Amino acid sequence: MVNGLDPASKQFLASLGAINQRLERAQRQVASGKRILSASDDPDQVGPLLQVRVDLRQTEQLAQNLSRVQGEVDAGEQALQQALRLVERAQVLGAQGGNGTQTAATRASIADEVKSLLDQLVGLSQTSIDGRYIFSGDSDQTAPYTLDWSLDTPLSFYQGSAATRKTVHPSGTEFSIAHAGDVIFDNPDTTKNVFAAVNNLRQALVANDETAILASVGQLRTAGDHLNTELGYYCSIQNQVADAVDSTQNAELRLKTRVSAMEDADLTESILELNQARYQQEVALSSRAQLPRTSLFDYLG
């Protein structure tokens, strides 16, 4: 009966198997650039690596959210800049219309321009980004205001809702990101109501009422101050969002660096290991081939 492998042969096969494993692992690392491709490559690092990857995915999602918020806040700031210029233009027109030398005809002409300013203001209130009306509060799928001059009351009521949306800073703190249109353009405080101030000037000009025209100029001034305050609010939110974006980008970079340090292979080291394993494999096979061969007749006596 033929006996099993002798101890030397078993040792040789075990050593050759270990060399082959090193060779295969080095080949995988060189081909993929990764040190960890499966849990068996480094069991102690798998748990920490998975946690860092989860943190990275959360940070990347936060970065996407902040990018969207940044676009909305920037659009809001730009819209308020334009709205403020329109109100300032209305003040100039009101001062012109309040001049005692104006006639009913010239005031009617000025009223037409004021009407155009109100059209533009309502258009700015309908500013949207990616299908979201940024001044409609939480009801951002609906335009906050519409304007139809064929109606007795051309300007609609506010169609949106309160603005309660917030975003999260990477530090974990939350902050609001918008004001609703009924706070900015159609404030219940008559001294802050932008739409009413502009429309009152238009009506006073159409009526050729010099006293009402001059009164509307004062209302436009306080409405402009209110718009300037709202613009300051959006500028402050821009700064908060920009800081959050910077912090998120830094956190994302740190996490990617950690992931890379944990799972990426040192290609120089991997190539060296690959060459060494190949050399040892060749030496082992060559040495084994040179050993005296034992035939079946050596086991028969």
Q: Is residue 32 packed enough to be buried (19+ CB in 10 Å), middle (13-18) or exposed (0-12)?
A: middle
| DSSP per position, 141-185 | TS-S--B-TTSSS-BPPP-S-----EEE-TTS-EEE----HHHHT
The pLDDT value given to residue 106:
97
Identify the band that residue 129 occupies on the pLDDT scale cut at 50, 70 and 90. Answer: very high
Please check whether residue 227 lies inside any domain of the structure: yes
Please check whether residue 170 lies inside any domain of the structure: yes
Please check whether residue 33 lies inside any domain of the structure: no
Please check whether residue 154 lies inside any domain of the structure: yes
Between 7 and 145, whose confidence is greater? Answer: 145
The pLDDT value given to residue 296:
46
Q: Note the residue count of the chain.
A: 301
The pLDDT value given to residue 127:
97
- How many domains in the chain? 1
Longest dimension (CA), the chain: 138
The pLDDT value given to residue 111:
97
Task: Give the phi and the psi of residue 34 in degrees, each rounded to 5.
Answer: -110, 140
- Distances 172 to 31, 59, 161, 270 between C-alpha atoms, Å: 40, 12, 26, 40
Specify the DSSP class assigned to residue 293.
Answer: P
Residue 129, both tokens: 């980004």
CB 62 within 8 A of CB 173: no
Identify the band that residue 41 occupies on the pLDDT scale cut at 50, 70 and 90. Answer: low
Q: What is the mean pLDDT of residues 103-119?
A: 97
Cβ contacts of residue 129 below 8 Å, gap of 6+?
68, 71, 72, 75
pLDDT for 182-214, tens place per residue? 999 999 999 999 999 999 999 999 999 999 999
Rounded to an integer, what distance in angstroms lies between the CA atom of residue 161 and that of residue 149?
Answer: 24
CB 180 within 8 A of CB 162: yes
CATH code, 200: 1.20.1330.10
Please check whether residue 210 lies inside any domain of the structure: yes
Between 285 and 65, whose confidence is greater? Answer: 65
Q: What is the mean pLDDT of residues 82-93?
A: 98
Lowest-confidence range among 129-143, 205-219, 221-235, 246-260? 246-260
Cβ contacts of residue 164 below 8 Å, gap of 6+?
137, 138, 176
Residue 300, both tokens: 């028969």
Exposure string of 64-99, with b = 16+ CB inside 10 Å and e = fewer, is eebeebbebbbbbbebbeebbebbebbbebbebbbe
Rounded to an integer, what distance in angstroms lies between the CA atom of residue 167 and that of residue 191?
Answer: 31
**Which three-class secondary structure state does DSSP give residue 6?**
coil
The pLDDT value given to residue 1:
43
Task: Give the phi and the psi of residue 175 in degrees, each rounded to 5.
Answer: -150, 150
Q: What is the mean pLDDT of residues 58-78?
A: 94
Residue 126, both tokens: 């309908």
Residue for token pair 């690092």: 45
The pLDDT value given to residue 264:
64
Rounded to an integer, what distance in angstroms lies between the CA atom of residue 120 and that of residue 86?
Answer: 8
Measured between alpha carbons, how far apart are the two ends of the chain, in Å?
Answer: 11
The pLDDT value given to residue 2:
45
Please check whether residue 231 lies inside any domain of the structure: yes
Domain that holds residue 62: 50-259
Q: Over the chain, what is the mean pLDDT?
A: 85
Rounded to an integer, what distance in angstroms lies between the CA atom of residue 258 and that of residue 66?
Answer: 23
The pLDDT value given to residue 39:
58
Does residue 50 surpass a pLDDT of 70? yes
Q: What is the mean pLDDT of residues 111-134?
A: 96
Please check whether residue 187 lies inside any domain of the structure: yes
Identify the band that residue 171 occupies on the pLDDT scale cut at 50, 70 and 90. Answer: confident
Q: What is the mean pLDDT of residues 25-36?
A: 63
Please check whether residue 90 lies inside any domain of the structure: yes
Rounded to an integer, what distance in angstroms lies between the CA atom of residue 259 and that of residue 51?
Answer: 10
